[in-house]
């Protein structure tokens, strides 16, 4: 009697994209299975936990399978094996389960060539090969690792190079991806997944230039987040929403700030000297009230993107730097800071702060007291070898920096602001 053929297709499907469906369609066409089990992962052993629920990922797969015409989804069985366990599940455990469930069947484990090339590093991979035939979809330029050939079947089709993590990044940056099926994309929008709803809101509430600025900034910030091990979704939320209130008129910002003055440090200074700074506090408020963001790291990064702070998280520094150094800024300094940020985020933060101070000098504006404190502290931290200059009495307010007109102008500004502060305190004492 002919053995029953079963394909097992597992993955986090975060999100499910066109290549997933194409791979499954080819596998069904070639193997002609009696059953297909789609096992949506609860938590991948290789990836951080997805913010999109198991149910949403499973639903998106079902919707996409219908749109992709996968021979009617009745043949697909969505099995909650990994979800039911509620803990990290390795593939060998999944395959073991199905081989016990179907002892007389021929099992095929479907995977893309990207997974295949790291397969010999998977836990108990030999057990997987003993219990199932590997069904591999090749990508262009694929060179297989050496494994016993008898347990591997390569599909005839060649598949596009698409990865869920890249698709996810594109969704965070652009709000859409050409690798996502229309029906899946509509579901994402309806369920407010992958920040698509934030993009939609920004498009309606920001001018085109500002919207582009937020997207370019997100692109850079995600690269930096990757480099410094910061959560990508948190980073994208902070950068997308950092200027949510930036296009509001000054009187609206002032009105909002007056109602929320207790939440705003240096309220009087900002009101009298630079009311536009209120936009950072109001943007954090929009993130909280409109998009239900509760994460303090995200809200603080939004609040502090205009003035900085002494104790800033890496996310806060990434947001601050990306605001100045995104590709939408064509000034030469943006490219320099961009490069610097990948080597030393603190140094890039300091350079970005200096850029803002230069702007303040050019516009003949007052410097926020907190920015001054941050400048003084950072100049000591980043140029400690120059600290001896301070002891020798050359400067009373932080060591001299690398030199040049800009640095001396900034130092003068810092000096004047600090002196003003001292006088103010003395007057208060009198």
Give dist(CA 297, CA 300) in Å, integer: 5
Give CA separation, 278 vs 258, 356, 408, in Å. Answer: 10, 16, 29
Which listed range, 59-67, 74-82, 318-326, 333-341, lies at the site for Fe ion (CB under 5 A)?
A: 318-326
CB of 279 to Fe ion, least distance (A): 6
12 contacts 60 by C-beta, under 8 angstroms: no
351-390 mask for Fe ion (x: CB under 5 A)?
----------------------------------------
Give dist(CA 180, CA 57) in Å, integer: 13
315 contacts 235 by C-beta, under 8 angstroms: yes
232-271 mask for Fe ion (x: CB under 5 A)?
-----------x----------------------------
The separation between the first and the last C-alpha atoms of the chain, rounded to the nearest angstrom, is 102
CB of 6 to Fe ion, least distance (A): 53
Write the DSSP symbol of residue 397: S
Our CB check for Fe ion shows the closer of 52 and 352 to be 352
314 contacts 345 by C-beta, under 8 angstroms: yes
Give dist(CA 50, CA 42) in Å, integer: 9
CB of 414 to Fe ion, least distance (A): 22
291-310 mask for Fe ion (x: CB under 5 A)?
--------------------
Longest dimension (CA), the chain: 102
Which listed range, 122-130, 171-179, 294-302, 322-330, lies at the site for Fe ion (CB under 5 A)?
A: 322-330
CB of 339 to Fe ion, least distance (A): 20
Give dist(CA 11, CA 172) in Å, integer: 21
CB of 243 to Fe ion, least distance (A): 4
Our CB check for Fe ion shows the closer of 233 and 323 to be 323
Our CB check for Fe ion shows the closer of 58 and 243 to be 243
CB of 232 to Fe ion, least distance (A): 19
Contacting residue, 223, 323, 340, 417, with Fe ion by CB under 5 A? 323
Our CB check for Fe ion shows the closer of 62 and 329 to be 329
Which listed range, 72-80, 119-127, 137-145, 323-331, lies at the site for Fe ion (CB under 5 A)?
A: 323-331
The tally of CA atoms less than 13 A away on the side-chain side of residue 224 is: 34
CB of 207 to Fe ion, least distance (A): 12
158-177 mask for Fe ion (x: CB under 5 A)?
--------------------
Give CA separation, 267 vs 129, 257, 271, 272, in Å. Answer: 66, 8, 6, 9
Give dist(CA 357, CA 410) in Å, integer: 7
DSSP bridge partners of 106: 5
Q: Is the peptide bond before 15 cis (omega within 30 degrees of 0)?
A: yes
Our CB check for Fe ion shows the closer of 14 and 323 to be 323
CB of 322 to Fe ion, least distance (A): 9
Question: Taking CB under 5 A as the rule, does residue 216 contact Fe ion?
Answer: no
Residues that bind Fe ion (CB under 5 A): 243, 323
């Amino acid at each position: 009697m002919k053995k029953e053929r079963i394909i097992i297709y597992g993955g986090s499907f975060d999100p499910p994209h066109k290549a997933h469906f194409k791979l499954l369609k080819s596998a069904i066409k070639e193997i002609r299975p009696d059953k297909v089990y789609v096992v949506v992962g609860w938590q991948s052993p290789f990836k951080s936990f997805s913010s999109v629920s198991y149910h949403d990922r499973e639903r998106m797969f079902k919707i996409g399978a219908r749109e992709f015409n996968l021979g009617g989804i009745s043949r697909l069985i969505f099995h909650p094996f990994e979800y039911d366990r509620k803990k990290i599940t390795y593939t060998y455990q999944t395959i073991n389960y199905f081989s016990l469930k179907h002892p007389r069947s021929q099992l095929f484990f479907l995977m893309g060539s990207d997974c295949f090339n790291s397969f010999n590093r998977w836990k108990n991979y030999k057990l997987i090969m003993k219990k199932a035939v590997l069904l591999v979809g090749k990508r262009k330029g694929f060179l297989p690792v050496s494994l016993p050939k008898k347990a591997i079947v390569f599909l005839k089709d060649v598949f596009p190079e698409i990865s869920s993590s890249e698709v996810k990044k594109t969704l965070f940056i652009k709000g859409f991806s050409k690798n996502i099926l229309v029906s899946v994309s509509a579901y994402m929008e309806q369920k407010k997944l992958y920040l698509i709803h934030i993009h939609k809101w920004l498009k309606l509430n920001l001018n085109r230039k500002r919207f582009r600025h937020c997207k370019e900034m997100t692109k850079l910030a995600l690269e930096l987040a990757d480099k410094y091990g910061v959560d990508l979704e948190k980073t994208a939320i902070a950068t997308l929403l950092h200027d949510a209130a930036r296009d509001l008129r000054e009187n609206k910002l002032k009105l909002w700030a007056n109602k929320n003055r207790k939440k705003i440090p240096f309220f009087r200074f900002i009101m009298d000297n630079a009311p536009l700074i209120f936009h950072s506090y109001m943007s954090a408020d929009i993130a909280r009230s409109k998009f239900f963001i509760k994460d303090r790291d995200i809200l603080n990064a939004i609040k502090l993107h205009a003035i900085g702070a002494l104790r800033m998280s890496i996310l806060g520094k990434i947001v601050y730097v990306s605001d100045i150094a995104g590709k939408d800024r064509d000034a030469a300094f943006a490219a320099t800071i961009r490069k610097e940020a990948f080597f030393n985020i603190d140094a890039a933060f300091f350079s970005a702060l200096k850029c803002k101070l230069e702007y303040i000098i050019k516009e003949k504006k007052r410097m926020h007291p907190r920015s001054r404190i941050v400048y003084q502290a950072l100049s000591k931290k980043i140029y400690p070898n120059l600290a001896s200059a301070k002891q020798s009495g050359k400067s009373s307010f932080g060591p001299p920096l690398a030199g040049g007109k800009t640095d001396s102008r900034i130092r003068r500004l810092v000096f004047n602001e600090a002196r003003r502060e001292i006088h103010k305190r003395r007057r208060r004492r009198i």
